[in-house]
């Protein structure tokens, strides 16, 4: 849970490294509306958000921290551009698969 708080910016106001779904995530997720409809779009967005905070962010934080847990007093590992692209790809894939299964 520390990884999610550290990368999402919820842990400390001074934490400058944050990851919350931004405009590319919203655009990729809302594109499912035109393919599958409103209910499937919402389902896909909810599944992608849930998967991000339960699986993708903690695993990314572990990978960026060398496989070790983040210490309480240590700063959050910086998300590289490559990590951000991978997270966007996983989030988009999850949103589309969730919408396809629901639609």
List pLDDT tens digits, range 12-49.
Answer: 444 444 555 567 777 887 889 999 999 999 999 889 88
Q: What pLDDT shows up at residue 20?
A: 54
Could you tell me the pLDDT band of residue 80, with boundaries at 50, 70 and 90?
A: confident
Give domain limits for the chain. 1-10+33-80+89-103
Write down the residue that tokens 């590289």 correspond to: 80
Picking from 28, 52, 32, 57, the residue whose alpha carbon sits closest to that of residue 43 is 32
Q: What is the pTM of this model?
A: 0.71
Q: Is the pLDDT of residue 50 over 70?
A: yes
Q: What are the tokens at 100? A: 């396809």
Compute the distance between CA of residue 69 and CA of residue 60 in angstroms, rounded to an integer: 11
Work out the percent of the chain whose per-residue pLDDT is above 70.
79
Ramachandran angles phi, psi of 72, nearest 5°: -60, -35
CB 20 within 8 A of CB 84: no
């Amino acid at each position: 849970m520390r990884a999610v708080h550290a990368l999402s910016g919820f842990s400390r106001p001074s934490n400058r490294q944050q990851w919350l779904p931004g405009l590319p995530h919203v655009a990729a997720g809302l594109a499912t509306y035109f393919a599958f409809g409103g209910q499937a779009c919402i389902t896909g967005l909810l599944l992608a958000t849930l998967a991000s905070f339960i699986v993708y962010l903690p695993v990314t934080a572990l990978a960026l921290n060398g496989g070790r847990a983040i210490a309480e007093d240590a700063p959050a590992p910086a998300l590289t551009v490559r990590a951000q692209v991978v997270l966007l790809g996983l989030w988009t894939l999850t949103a589309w698969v969730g919408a396809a299964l629901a639609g």
